């Protein structure tokens, strides 16, 4: 299932790359596409939104509610 999250604090392509790298470590998601302010991905088995939020925040950004 296609999912998306809004992300605060991203302002450049470095931010995009940092979020892409963080999300690539999350088990259960694929087809990751990140642009400034938003990430989209396909959630499969083992998808955990808590983990998605955690890796984005660990990368230094904030998931918008």
- pLDDT score for 46: 75
Report helix, strand or coil for 28. coil
Which has the closest alpha carbon to 34: 65, 1, 61?
Answer: 61
Q: Which residue blocks in the chain are alpha helix, DSSP H?
A: 13-23, 49-58
pLDDT tens-digit series, residues 10-36: 999 999 999 999 999 998 999 999 999
pLDDT tens-digit series, residues 43-56: 998 788 999 999 99
User: The tokens of 19 are what?
Assistant: 């979020």
The bridge status of strand 29-35 relative to strand 38-43 is antiparallel
- pLDDT score for 65: 75
Question: Domains in the chain, please, with CATH?
Answer: 10-63 (3.30.70.100)
- pLDDT score for 35: 97
**Does the pTM of the predicted model rise above 0.85?**
yes
């Amino acid at each position: 299932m296609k999912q998306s999250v809004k992300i605060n604090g991203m302002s450049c392509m470095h931010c995009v790359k940092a979020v892409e790298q963080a999300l690539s470590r999350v088990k259960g998601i694929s087809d990751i596409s990140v642009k400034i302010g938003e990430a989209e991905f396909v959630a499969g088995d083992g998808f955990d939104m808590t983990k998605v939020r955690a890796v984005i925040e660990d990368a230094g950004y904030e998931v918008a509610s």
